[in-house]
Amino acid sequence: MRRTRERPRSHRATRSSRAIAGGAGGGSDRGPLHGARVVLGVTGGIAAYKAVEVLRLLVDGGAHVVPVLTRAATRFVGTATFSALGSEPCETELFAGASPIPHTRLGQLADVVVVAPATARLVGEYAAGIAADLLGATLLATRAPVVLCPAMHTEMWEHPAVQANLSTLRSRGVHVVGPDTGRLAGGDSGAGRLAAPESIVAAVEAVLAGTGPGAARGRGAAPGARGGQDLSGLEILVTAGGTREPIDPVRFLGNRSSGRQGHALAEVAAERGAAVVLVTASDLAPPAGVVTVSVETAAELADAVLSRSGSADVVVMAAAVADFRPVTASPSKIHKSDGVPEIRLEPTLDVLAELGRRRRPGQVVVGFAAETDHAIERGRAKLAAKGADLVVVNDVTEPGAGFAHETNAVTLLFASGATVEVPLGPKRTIAAAILDAAVALLRERGAGASPSPSSAPATPTSGPTSGPRPQTSPHPGDRGAGDEQGAPR
Ligand code: CTP
């Protein structure tokens, strides 16, 4: 087996050598894992036990896997397990073995380095370029793609330092998988749970096959993307879904929003390098690499948004927030035998209007308006009344737009009076156009991080009538997420 030190980063350059390296697991599958040399880093978190399953799946796929455990990881799992299941004995120390430079050997020979779970400490050290131990040194010594699977408590995951570190790593081409939302250590529940082993292995396969998220970005995931990371350094807060206002423990006042447009916005923004917080009232799975805060009611959404909006560069209110809620919710089920109930309603806080009032200089506030008639007039009225910079109007009665559709068509109304139509397309494409418009506004104000100078999609150049159609060519990875946005009531 012959490998050169300067071999290209792409795994494709290693195909022939992989066949020689062979898969220790003897998997018959000739998929992307077959013969791939994988360094599996495991750090010290409670999710370390799940790395055993990741190891098994990788080996089953035909990969040659070298487990590298940090010292803290060995407090949670035993090296014997990893040595027994791995293709080579588990490595833990920079200086303990026969080789004086194990990290360069591991790093140079790897086709991909996977870290699962990746603790906040590992993320921070890697972002800072600190080679604190064998795994940290291997990460710096490799030119292979790196897949990081963070897992930590919600508070740590949401910490701006952790998000900034991940943003830095993403901007360097590191693939970040998860975390999921669910049960955490100590009986807590929330964002920060290690992605499922199957999802991690699928992501590794995609990276090896050249179709991973980074590869997709490289193909120009979104209009205006520069190397796919044109939103790097920006903090974007997105809301999604329809809030539910309880009437009693089994009934609520709701709306038809699914949250797909908002989730698509969060997903695309994260892929383009932004640090994204998604406040969602939707049951959709949280997008990868996004801090997701689940809410149910308009009041919960208002709290979650207003407590986080201060530091955001862009806030996008795609949620369908209830305008009214029952004054009181019955603590027990209302029964027919009680007679026809009279439900008194009271108004909720208009979060978008509040954001407009609180907006700090440079911040961009984007609202939505899902309308059934006089869409543009109503959208303009909302833009003015709520003090937004941009309102995304969609006429939900138009074919292919609005509820229960995989596609959408919107008109962007700018406070300057300009109008941009975004033609019918997958919701990810619509999301990209909205983000481009927000970035263009940020740039006009000289705020934000480093938006691409070539990102000139939906920059409003026209007057109050329809302006130029932005270049919104569909992205190969578009999933065409579902229905509406705005507040359909
Ligand atoms: N919105 C909000 N808080 C509310 C209601 C709406 O922040 N309590 C936001 C929505 O997220 C959306 C925008 O305001 O970005 C417009 O919502 P929409 O329902 O279309 O307008 P409303 O102001 O509620 O007016 P109406 O329902 O009468 O059309």
- By mean pLDDT, which of 25-39, 153-167, 346-360 is the weakest? 25-39
Ligand 1 centre from 110 Cα, in Å? 51
**DSSP string covering 293-348, please?**
EE--SHHHHHHHHHTTGGG-SEEEE-SB--SEEESS--SSPPPGGG-S----EEEP
> Three-state DSSP class for 144?
coil
352 lines ligand 1 (CB under 6 A): yes
Per-residue DSSP letter, 225: -
CA distance 391 to 376: 10
Q: For the segment 111-132, what is each residue's pLDDT rounded down to a tens digit?
A: 999 999 999 999 999 999 999 9
CA distance 138 to 151: 20
Give the tokens for residue 225: 């993307």
Q: For the segment 373-411, what is each residue's pLDDT rounded down to a tens digit?
A: 999 999 999 999 999 999 999 988 887 787 667 788 999
Question: Cis omega (within 30 of 0) on the bond before 150?
Answer: no
Residue type, 164: A
Q: List domains and CATH numbers for the chain.
A: 11-211 (3.40.50.1950), 235-330+339-444 (3.40.50.10300)
| Polymer length in residues for the chain | 489
Query: Is the confidence at residue 212, as pLDDT, over 70?
Result: no
CA distance 44 to 206: 26
- Report which ligand 1 atom has the smallest distance to the Cα of 353: 7
Question: Please, which pLDDT band fits residue 67 given cuts at 50, 70 and 90?
Answer: very high
350 lines ligand 1 (CB under 6 A): yes
CA distance 298 to 296: 7
191 lines ligand 1 (CB under 6 A): no
> Tokens 């008639």 belong to which residue?
373
44 lines ligand 1 (CB under 6 A): no
Query: Is the confidence at residue 176, as pLDDT, over 90?
Result: no
Give the tokens for residue 183: 């049960």
Per-residue DSSP letter, 47: G
φ, ψ of residue 480 in degrees (nearest 5)? 55, 55
> Tokens 């799940």 belong to which residue?
50
106 lines ligand 1 (CB under 6 A): no
**DSSP string covering 418-484, please?**
-EEEEEEEEHHHHHHHHHHHHHHHHHHTT-SS---TT--SS---S-SSB-PPP--PPPTT-------
Give the H or E element holding residue 369: strand 364-371
Question: Please, which pLDDT band fits residue 191 given cuts at 50, 70 and 90?
Answer: confident
Q: In what order do the strands lie in the sheet with 37-42?
A: 64-69, 37-42, 112-118, 146-150, 175-176
Residue 165 designated active-site: no
Residue type, 123: V
Q: For the segment 145-165, what is each residue's pLDDT rounded down to a tens digit?
A: 999 999 999 999 989 899 889
Do 302 and 279 form a contact (C-beta atoms < 8 A)? Answer: no
Question: Please, which pLDDT band fits residue 30 given cuts at 50, 70 and 90?
Answer: low
Do 321 and 245 form a contact (C-beta atoms < 8 A)? Answer: no
For helices 351-358 and 375-386, give the axis angle rounded to 10 degrees.
Answer: 50
> Tokens 């695309």 belong to which residue?
268
Share of residues in the chain with pLDDT > 70 (%): 80
Ligand 1 centre from 321 Cα, in Å? 6
Residue 11 pLDDT = 33
Give the tokens for residue 308: 């986080």
379 lines ligand 1 (CB under 6 A): no
Q: Output the CA–CA distances (angstroms, integers) from residue 102 to 109, 139, 141, 144, in the order listed.
A: 11, 12, 10, 16
CA distance 228 to 220: 6
Residue 98 pLDDT = 62
CA distance 287 to 160: 18
Ligand 1 centre from 194 Cα, in Å? 35
CA distance 201 to 177: 10
Q: Output the CA–CA distances (angstroms, integers) from residue 271 to 140, 194, 289, in the order listed.
A: 23, 19, 8
Share of residues in the chain with pLDDT > 90 (%): 52
Give the H or E element holding residue 191: strand 189-193
Apex CA 483: angle with CA 480 and CA 485, to 5°?
115
Do 486 and 370 form a contact (C-beta atoms < 8 A)? Answer: yes
For helices 260-271 and 427-444, give the axis angle rounded to 10 degrees.
Answer: 60
Query: Is the confidence at residue 224, as pLDDT, over 60?
Result: no
Q: Specify the higher pLDDT residue, 187 or 50.
A: 50
Do 269 and 240 form a contact (C-beta atoms < 8 A)? Answer: no
- By mean pLDDT, which of 326-330, 434-438, 442-446 is the weakest? 442-446
- Name which of 72, 156, 148 is nearest 120 in CA terms: 156
Kindly report the pTM of this predicted structure: 0.56
Question: Please, which pLDDT band fits residue 205 given cuts at 50, 70 and 90?
Answer: confident
- By mean pLDDT, which of 367-376, 387-396, 421-430 is the weakest? 421-430
Q: Looking at residues 4-29, what average pLDDT do you find?
A: 33
Q: Looking at residues 156-176, what average pLDDT do you find?
A: 87
Residue 228 pLDDT = 59
Query: Is the confidence at residue 178, as pLDDT, over 70?
Result: yes
Ligand 1 centre from 213 Cα, in Å? 33
Q: Specify the higher pLDDT residue, 187 or 446.
A: 187
Which residue has its alpha carbon closest to ligand 1 atom 14?
352
369 lines ligand 1 (CB under 6 A): yes
Ligand 1 centre from 352 Cα, in Å? 7
321 lines ligand 1 (CB under 6 A): yes
Do 70 and 44 form a contact (C-beta atoms < 8 A)? Answer: yes
157 lines ligand 1 (CB under 6 A): no
Residue 319 pLDDT = 98
> Three-state DSSP class for 157?
helix
Query: Is the confidence at residue 1, as pLDDT, over 70?
Result: no
Which residue has its alpha carbon closest to ligand 1 atom 17?
487
Q: Specify the higher pLDDT residue, 469 or 99.
A: 99
- In terms of DSSP bridges, do strands 146-150 and 112-118 run parallel, antiparallel, or are they unpaired? parallel
Q: What mean pLDDT, rounded, does the chain reach?
A: 80
Q: Looking at residues 464-478, what average pLDDT do you find?
A: 29
Single out the catalytic residue among 165, 255, 394, 408. 255
Testing ligand 1's pocket by substitution, the residue of 237, 349, 382, 386 carrying the most ligand atoms inside 8 A of its CB is 382
Residue 403 pLDDT = 66
- The H helix count followed by the E strand count for the chain is 15, 19
Ligand 1 centre from 427 Cα, in Å? 20
CA distance 408 to 401: 4
Ligand 1 centre from 482 Cα, in Å? 20
- Report which ligand 1 atom has the smallest distance to the Cα of 370: 20
